Amino acid sequence: QVQLVQSGSELKKPGASVKVSCKASGYTFTSYAMNWVRQAPGQGLEWMGWINTNTGNPTYAQGFTGRFVFSLDTSVSTAYLQISSLKAEDTAVYYCAREGGEYCSGGSCYTKGIDYWGQGTLVTVSS
Amino acid sequence: DIQMTQSPSSLSASVGDRVTITCRASQGISNYLAWFQQKPGKAPKSLIYAASSLQSGVPSKFSGSGSGTDFTLTISSLQPEDFATYYCQQYNSYPITFGGGTKVEIK
Protein backbone atom coordinates (compact mmCIF):
# COMPACT_ATOMS: atom_id res chain seq x y z
CA GLN A 1 0.00 0.00 0.00
CA VAL A 2 1.12 3.51 -0.75
CA GLN A 3 2.58 5.33 2.25
CA LEU A 4 4.22 8.70 2.65
CA VAL A 5 5.93 9.00 6.03
CA GLN A 6 7.22 12.41 7.03
CA SER A 7 9.82 13.36 9.60
CA GLY A 8 8.83 14.58 13.04
CA SER A 9 7.96 18.00 14.41
CA GLU A 10 10.64 20.66 14.50
CA LEU A 11 11.15 23.66 16.76
CA LYS A 12 13.52 26.21 15.26
CA LYS A 13 14.70 29.71 16.02
CA PRO A 14 14.24 32.54 13.54
CA GLY A 15 17.04 32.54 10.98
CA ALA A 16 17.70 28.82 11.26
CA SER A 17 17.05 26.19 8.59
CA VAL A 18 14.96 23.05 8.59
CA LYS A 19 14.78 20.01 6.33
CA VAL A 20 11.59 17.97 6.21
CA SER A 21 11.68 14.49 4.74
CA CYS A 22 8.95 12.47 3.07
CA LYS A 23 9.74 8.78 2.60
CA ALA A 24 7.61 6.95 0.07
CA SER A 25 6.85 3.25 -0.04
CA GLY A 26 4.48 0.88 -1.80
CA TYR A 27 5.08 2.22 -5.30
CA THR A 28 7.82 3.21 -7.75
CA PHE A 29 8.98 6.55 -6.38
CA THR A 30 10.18 7.99 -9.66
CA SER A 31 6.90 7.33 -11.45
CA TYR A 32 4.85 9.91 -9.56
CA ALA A 33 5.53 13.59 -8.93
CA MET A 34 5.49 14.99 -5.40
CA ASN A 35 3.71 18.10 -4.26
CA TRP A 36 4.30 20.15 -1.13
CA VAL A 37 1.41 21.88 0.66
CA ARG A 38 1.50 24.24 3.63
CA GLN A 39 -1.16 24.76 6.28
CA ALA A 40 -0.65 27.60 8.74
CA PRO A 41 -2.30 27.23 12.16
CA GLY A 42 -6.07 27.39 11.83
CA GLN A 43 -5.83 28.19 8.12
CA GLY A 44 -6.52 26.47 4.83
CA LEU A 45 -4.30 24.60 2.42
CA GLU A 46 -1.68 26.37 0.30
CA TRP A 47 0.13 24.70 -2.59
CA MET A 48 3.87 25.34 -2.48
CA GLY A 49 4.92 23.58 -5.66
CA TRP A 50 6.01 20.21 -6.91
CA ILE A 51 9.03 18.24 -7.94
CA ASN A 52 9.39 15.87 -10.86
CA THR A 53 10.74 12.73 -9.18
CA ASN A 54 12.08 11.43 -12.48
CA THR A 55 14.17 14.47 -13.44
CA GLY A 56 14.47 16.25 -10.10
CA ASN A 57 13.14 19.44 -11.66
CA PRO A 58 11.22 21.54 -9.11
CA THR A 59 8.45 24.06 -9.71
CA TYR A 60 7.74 26.63 -7.01
CA ALA A 61 4.61 28.65 -6.44
CA GLN A 62 5.01 32.37 -6.08
CA GLY A 63 5.84 33.11 -2.49
CA PHE A 64 7.89 29.96 -2.17
CA THR A 65 10.94 30.94 -4.17
CA GLY A 66 14.35 31.66 -2.74
CA ARG A 67 14.16 30.22 0.79
CA PHE A 68 12.36 27.00 -0.15
CA VAL A 69 14.08 24.09 -1.87
CA PHE A 70 12.62 20.77 -2.99
CA SER A 71 15.05 17.91 -3.46
CA LEU A 72 15.14 14.14 -3.78
CA ASP A 73 17.15 11.10 -2.85
CA THR A 74 15.76 8.49 -5.20
CA SER A 75 18.02 5.80 -3.71
CA VAL A 76 15.87 5.89 -0.58
CA SER A 77 12.61 7.02 -2.21
CA THR A 78 12.57 10.24 -0.24
CA ALA A 79 11.60 13.80 -1.06
CA TYR A 80 12.82 16.75 0.96
CA LEU A 81 11.68 20.27 1.70
CA GLN A 82 14.32 22.61 3.02
CA ILE A 83 13.45 26.05 4.34
CA SER A 84 16.22 28.50 5.16
CA SER A 85 16.23 31.81 7.04
CA LEU A 86 13.14 30.73 8.95
CA LYS A 87 10.62 33.35 10.02
CA ALA A 88 7.79 33.17 12.53
CA GLU A 89 5.31 33.18 9.67
CA ASP A 90 6.79 29.89 8.40
CA THR A 91 5.18 28.19 11.39
CA ALA A 92 2.87 25.65 9.80
CA VAL A 93 2.22 22.02 9.06
CA TYR A 94 3.94 20.96 5.85
CA TYR A 95 2.55 18.07 3.82
CA CYS A 96 4.01 16.08 0.99
CA ALA A 97 1.37 14.78 -1.38
CA ARG A 98 1.76 12.39 -4.28
CA GLU A 99 0.51 13.37 -7.68
CA GLY A 100 -1.65 10.47 -8.80
CA GLY A 101 -1.30 8.68 -12.04
CA GLU A 102 -3.21 9.27 -15.22
CA TYR A 103 -6.58 8.29 -16.51
CA CYS A 104 -7.50 8.25 -20.18
CA SER A 105 -10.72 9.35 -21.74
CA GLY A 106 -11.69 10.11 -25.29
CA GLY A 107 -8.22 9.40 -26.59
CA SER A 108 -6.46 11.79 -24.21
CA CYS A 109 -4.87 11.17 -20.83
CA TYR A 110 -5.10 13.42 -17.80
CA THR A 111 -3.64 13.58 -14.30
CA LYS A 112 -5.66 12.32 -11.38
CA GLY A 113 -4.30 15.10 -9.18
CA ILE A 114 -3.16 14.47 -5.62
CA ASP A 115 -4.08 11.01 -4.35
CA TYR A 116 -1.97 10.31 -1.24
CA TRP A 117 -0.76 12.60 1.54
CA GLY A 118 1.94 12.36 4.17
CA GLN A 119 0.89 12.74 7.79
CA GLY A 120 2.32 16.25 7.96
CA THR A 121 5.28 17.83 9.75
CA LEU A 122 4.75 20.70 12.16
CA VAL A 123 7.49 23.31 11.92
CA THR A 124 7.40 25.87 14.70
CA VAL A 125 9.58 28.95 14.45
CA SER A 126 9.96 30.76 17.73
CA SER A 127 12.67 32.50 19.68
CA ASP B 1 -4.19 33.05 -10.28
CA ILE B 2 -7.49 31.20 -10.29
CA GLN B 3 -9.54 31.93 -7.18
CA MET B 4 -11.64 29.13 -5.73
CA THR B 5 -14.66 30.16 -3.66
CA GLN B 6 -16.48 27.63 -1.53
CA SER B 7 -19.91 28.03 -0.01
CA PRO B 8 -21.01 27.82 2.62
CA SER B 9 -17.94 28.30 4.78
CA SER B 10 -19.63 26.18 7.43
CA LEU B 11 -22.81 24.24 7.86
CA SER B 12 -24.60 22.27 10.55
CA ALA B 13 -26.27 19.03 9.60
CA SER B 14 -27.69 15.91 11.21
CA VAL B 15 -26.71 12.31 10.73
CA GLY B 16 -28.53 11.03 7.68
CA ASP B 17 -28.83 14.41 6.00
CA ARG B 18 -27.89 14.98 2.38
CA VAL B 19 -25.25 17.70 2.22
CA THR B 20 -24.12 19.73 -0.77
CA ILE B 21 -21.06 22.00 -0.90
CA THR B 22 -20.43 24.38 -3.77
CA CYS B 23 -17.13 25.49 -5.28
CA ARG B 24 -16.80 28.23 -7.89
CA ALA B 25 -13.70 28.99 -9.93
CA SER B 26 -12.87 32.54 -11.02
CA GLN B 27 -12.33 31.26 -14.56
CA GLY B 28 -13.03 28.06 -16.44
CA ILE B 29 -11.05 25.03 -15.31
CA SER B 30 -12.72 22.32 -17.41
CA ASN B 31 -13.02 19.38 -15.01
CA TYR B 32 -9.64 19.79 -13.29
CA LEU B 33 -11.25 19.91 -9.88
CA ALA B 34 -10.51 17.82 -6.79
CA TRP B 35 -12.15 17.51 -3.38
CA PHE B 36 -10.41 16.71 -0.09
CA GLN B 37 -11.62 15.91 3.41
CA GLN B 38 -9.67 16.96 6.47
CA LYS B 39 -10.39 16.04 10.07
CA PRO B 40 -8.90 18.02 12.97
CA GLY B 41 -5.23 17.29 13.49
CA LYS B 42 -5.09 14.96 10.50
CA ALA B 43 -3.75 15.12 6.96
CA PRO B 44 -6.21 15.77 4.16
CA LYS B 45 -7.70 12.76 2.42
CA SER B 46 -8.30 12.76 -1.31
CA LEU B 47 -11.93 12.10 -2.24
CA ILE B 48 -12.57 13.10 -5.84
CA TYR B 49 -10.57 13.98 -8.95
CA ALA B 50 -11.64 15.21 -12.36
CA ALA B 51 -14.70 16.77 -10.73
CA SER B 52 -16.66 13.53 -10.43
CA SER B 53 -14.35 10.50 -10.21
CA LEU B 54 -13.87 8.84 -6.83
CA GLN B 55 -10.34 8.18 -5.65
CA SER B 56 -9.65 4.55 -4.87
CA GLY B 57 -11.36 3.36 -1.71
CA VAL B 58 -13.67 6.35 -1.31
CA PRO B 59 -17.26 5.31 -0.54
CA SER B 60 -19.95 6.01 -3.09
CA LYS B 61 -21.89 8.24 -0.68
CA PHE B 62 -19.53 10.96 -1.94
CA SER B 63 -20.22 12.35 -5.37
CA GLY B 64 -19.02 15.31 -7.36
CA SER B 65 -20.34 17.16 -10.34
CA GLY B 66 -19.71 20.21 -12.47
CA SER B 67 -17.53 21.55 -15.20
CA GLY B 68 -16.16 24.92 -16.20
CA THR B 69 -16.60 27.19 -13.19
CA ASP B 70 -19.26 25.63 -10.96
CA PHE B 71 -18.85 22.42 -9.00
CA THR B 72 -20.55 20.56 -6.18
CA LEU B 73 -19.65 17.89 -3.67
CA THR B 74 -22.56 15.90 -2.28
CA ILE B 75 -22.61 13.55 0.66
CA SER B 76 -25.72 11.45 0.25
CA SER B 77 -26.31 10.43 3.88
CA LEU B 78 -24.11 12.13 6.43
CA GLN B 79 -22.49 9.81 8.95
CA PRO B 80 -20.58 10.68 12.14
CA GLU B 81 -17.24 10.04 10.43
CA ASP B 82 -18.07 12.63 7.74
CA PHE B 83 -17.95 15.60 10.07
CA ALA B 84 -14.84 17.39 8.82
CA THR B 85 -13.64 20.29 6.69
CA TYR B 86 -13.86 19.87 2.92
CA TYR B 87 -11.66 21.66 0.40
CA CYS B 88 -11.93 21.98 -3.34
CA GLN B 89 -8.81 22.45 -5.46
CA GLN B 90 -8.24 23.38 -9.08
CA TYR B 91 -5.33 21.84 -10.93
CA ASN B 92 -6.08 23.24 -14.36
CA SER B 93 -3.22 25.71 -14.21
CA TYR B 94 -0.38 26.85 -11.99
CA PRO B 95 -0.44 27.87 -9.29
CA ILE B 96 -2.71 25.12 -8.04
CA THR B 97 -5.21 26.76 -5.70
CA PHE B 98 -7.57 25.58 -2.98
CA GLY B 99 -10.89 26.86 -1.82
CA GLY B 100 -11.14 28.26 1.68
CA GLY B 101 -12.84 25.17 3.05
CA THR B 102 -16.30 24.19 4.29
CA LYS B 103 -16.60 22.96 7.85
CA VAL B 104 -19.37 20.40 8.29
CA GLU B 105 -20.51 20.29 11.90
CA ILE B 106 -23.01 18.25 13.85
CA LYS B 107 -26.39 19.88 14.39
The type of residue at A85 is S
C-alpha B12, offset from chain centre: 16
Residues of chain B with pLDDT > 90: what percent?
98
State the Cα–Cα distance between residues A44 and B36, nearest whole angstrom: 12
User: What is the sign, positive or negative, of the torsion defined by CA atoms of B19, B20, B23, B24?
Assistant: negative
State the Cα–Cα distance between residues B97 and B88, nearest whole angstrom: 9
pLDDT tens, residue by residue, B25-54: 999 999 999 999 999 999 999 999 999 999
State the Cα–Cα distance between residues B36 and B27, nearest whole angstrom: 21
Residues in chain A whose Cβ is within 8 Å of chain B:
35, 37, 44-47, 59, 61-62, 95, 97, 100, 103, 110-120
State the Cα–Cα distance between residues B10 and B56, nearest whole angstrom: 27
Residues in chain B whose Cβ is within 8 Å of chain A:
32, 34, 36, 38, 42-46, 49-50, 53, 55-56, 87, 89, 91, 94-101
Would you write out chain A's pLDDT as a tens digit for each of its 127 residues?
Answer: 999 999 999 999 999 999 999 999 999 999 999 999 999 999 999 999 999 999 999 999 999 999 999 999 999 999 999 999 999 999 999 999 999 988 888 888 888 999 999 999 999 999 9
